[in-house]
Amino acid sequence: MNQKINEEIQILINKYKFGDYNEILNKCSSLLKKNPNNDFLWNLAGLCFQRVGNHLKAITSFQNAIENNSKNISAKNNLGISYKSIREYSKAEKIFKDLILENENYINAIVNIANLKKDTYFFEDALSNYKKALQIDENLPELHLNISNILQVKNEMDLAKNHLFKALELRNDFCKADQNLSMLLNYKDSINDKHLSSMIDKLQNTKLDRDNKILLHFGLGKAFEDKKNYEESFKHFEQGNNLKKEKLSSKINFYKKKAEDIKKYFSKIQFKKNDENSDNNKIFILGLPRSGTTLLEKIISSHSKVGSVSEIGYLYDHIDKNIIIDKKINENQITKFINSNFGSEYDNFLKQFNIKKKFILDKTLTNFWYIGFIKIFFPNSKIIHSYRNPKDNCLSIFKNLFPDTTGEKWLYDQNEMGEYYLIYHDLMKFWNKLFPNQIYNSEYENLINNKDSKIKDLIKFCGLEWDEKCLNHHKNTNPIKTLSINQANKPIYKSSINSSQFYENKLLEIYEILEKLN
């Protein structure tokens, strides 16, 4: 590489650190026209495509990098990451294994194969690979975070906390560990005041980037809520939400049109009568985040014949990809998709997961959009819709930081959250009318207040014989992956009912929109 392009690449690397991904992609495109064999630029373009969520273009970029330099280990590893992101698990695993064959101590590939095993529920394999990576380099805080995440899934909370504290020992400004810890610690106990003070100190005295500030604000919001200091708690939740939504685009108009198009299409369809002999081993739990879905998942997966793949997202993403063209639902594409063999594709996808039970539970929340498709492809499946007091539900969403893969502004913006709730509520009314008595609508408050009878109703609806373990779901050691994991591993508690009363004057924008429900 000549000096001029070296200088331009260095500028792009600096921009990458500040998250200017689209600007870098424009510049890379220009530079690659003049330097089409530059594998470094192809790899950098691929990384930017990853960051903006375009993994298909990322894959092409990494392939071009490797074609121009077969020894570009970084591009190979990044290619594996993108394959994993689009759930091409076997392709990703082969790449990581080949890299480890070339260099058994290549820590990036070892960590990535661990991440893949975690995603497909081979938790012991994941833990084994994380520990192998730790033997190579014990000073990586990210490794301790990953191990903690696995231990949380396995309900080994004390060990999980220890790894998070270790991560902070290694790097004090590793705020992802702070935010994770905040979800596990109870700040009513003065023993945790030290961690609370450390988060305040970092926020006030450390030069943090935007992402780390967001993590600390959500962590502090949770901590002050534990202490019943709701004024201070809301201040941090609000600041965290404001920072988070800054770089997110509104999709509300798209969702409004999407809902109308779905209702219009499915209103015209004649659904066939269920075939009694067709596959009936699937259970779908759906609804909004923080509506009680994780509790339902924990209860049902406590049954000896049920295994959960949690929030895999496959059905929703696959349907989206097939029926939406230019950000609009295409009726011809829907008809084409309905006549595809998606049911078999979904079954084959599930085989990649370490689930050996007869019944499989999919808790992808956004599946509420596509109940009509579920009824077509899996007519005998059980559909369970979880809902709760709208104010409590929206407050709980507002108080939580969702995974980075969720680029949804409505999760962090009061006005958009209220509007999205109305869309969701209207669509569920439509599905319930279209499929009367075929969807189990589980009200969170009713489940909490009438635990025994409602759990028995739920298990009966699923077509399962009674299993006493479902009443003791908090003792269930079956792993689940979810934001609400800590709550789900505890006995049923009532403190979240009417929690919005403590923030009654804080979320007026949302609550005003929710008045339209009445």
- Nearest CA among 210, 140, 223 for reference residue 180: 223
- Nearest CA among 488, 26, 136 for reference residue 298: 488
Instruction: Tell me the pLDDT tens digit for each residue of 223-249.
Output: 999 999 999 999 999 999 999 999 899
Distance CA 95, CA 38 (A): 22
| Residues of the chain by 3-state class (helix, strand, coil), percent to 5 | 65, 5, 30
Residues of the chain with pLDDT under 50: none
Q: What is the pTM of this model?
A: 0.89
- Nearest CA among 208, 280, 258, 203 for reference residue 235: 203
- Nearest CA among 69, 20, 17 for reference residue 40: 69
Which residue in this structure is represented by tokens 């596509």?
A: 370
Q: How far is CA 219 from CA 74, 87, 156, 216, 228, in A?
A: 34, 31, 21, 5, 14
In the DSSP assignment, the letter for residue 351 is T
Domains of the chain, start order: 172-247 (no CATH), 252-268+279-517 (3.40.50.300)
Q: Are 380 and 275 in contact (CB under 8 A)?
A: yes
- Nearest CA among 186, 270, 179 for reference residue 224: 186
HEC letters along 457-505: HHHHHCCCCCCHHHHHHHHCCCCCCCCCHHHHCCCCCCCCCCHHHHHCC
Distance CA 186, CA 291 (A): 22
Instruction: Tell me the pLDDT tens digit for each residue of 187-213.
Output: 999 999 999 999 999 999 878 999 999
Q: Are 220 and 199 in contact (CB under 8 A)?
A: yes
Number of Cβ within a 10 Å radius of residue 407: 13
Q: Helices in 137-208 by DSSP H: which ranges?
A: 141-153, 157-170, 175-184, 193-205
What is the pLDDT at residue 17? 82
In the DSSP assignment, the letter for residue 358 is S
